[in-house]
Structure 1
Amino acid sequence: MKITKSPIHNRVNTIFIPVSDLQAAAKWYCHLLGQEYNPEEVKEPVYNMKINHTTGVLLDAGPPGKKQTVKPSAHPLFNFHTEDIDSSFQFVKELEYSVHSDIQRFEDISFFTIKDADENIIMICTG
């Protein structure tokens, strides 16, 4: 197969997270990322998180006026980066977030997973 130049960029642009309650999800993710939560900035059907990188995170509540039924993956589909896995683990415990897995440590990477209110599994990861 001949490889041709693709018009599709080799980067992830935006991660969509399906949610059933946009206000609650925005508050949860804002607190997780240490951002101020302002309910007046959250407008149906989507909320674009303030992310300090080229890859964005968009909370997606589905069609306006309809409560979306979320069917989360059994596996994390992305991660949020941390330099300090232990303080991050302690932080989410203090927020009383649902810890899905304890810290897993390997030579060059460590991670743990948490669940949001819709049971989406979010990985917090070094490396």
Structure 2
Amino acid sequence: MKPIIYNRVDTIFIHVSNLKESVRWYSKLFGLEFKESDYKGPIHTIDMGPGRPGLTLDNHCFDEEYKFMPSNQPLFNLSTDDINIAYKLVKDMGAEIVTEIETFPNLADFTFKDPNGNIIMICTCFT
């Protein structure tokens, strides 16, 4: 039987209050070039690589009833090979650290807030 709903995630939505500044901030976080000419709105999807879901920033500019509320738990995790360098980058970008680096037998992680107050986690796995 062919599934009605596919077992995959196509995009992850991050709700933001200022789309342009959020695109600029996430571009810097991922080391991507931000060009004003590439910014179209009202949503912006960042390509996260082949076979991976996109990261869609959405400010709901056409929804008069929408009330922005940042997440109070991590929305997703991002991967890194070096948790300490990732932590320094996030700190240098001025992000609020929610949890310091925690190290477990198989992984290390920390959480921080994006400029909109959404909580994001960065992890590294030990093999």
Q: TM-score, normalised by structure 2?
A: 0.86
Contact between 1:20 and 1:69, CA under 8 Å: does it hold in 2? no
Contact between 1:44 and 1:64, CA under 8 Å: does it hold in 2? no
Aligned length: 124
Asked if 1:9 corresponds to 2:10, the answer is no
Structure 1: state its 5+ residue gaps. none
* Aligned counterpart, 1:87: 85
Following superposition, the deviation at residue 5 of structure 1 comes to 5.7
| Partner SS state of residue 121, structure 2 | strand
Q: Tell me the percent identity.
A: 37
Asked if 1:97 corresponds to 2:71, the answer is no
Question: Which deviates more from structure 2 when the two are superposed, residues 36-45 or residues 103-112?
Answer: 36-45
Return the alpha-carbon distance in structure 1 between the equivalents of residues 106 and 35 of structure 2.
37
Structure 1 consecutive aligned stretches of length 4 or more whose deviation exceeds 4 Å: none
Contact between 1:15 and 1:58, CA under 8 Å: does it hold in 2? yes
Q: TM-score, normalised by structure 1?
A: 0.86
Q: Aligned letter for 1:18?
A: H
| Partner SS state of residue 63, structure 1 | coil
Return the alpha-carbon distance in structure 1 between the equivalents of residues 61 and 20 of structure 2.
15
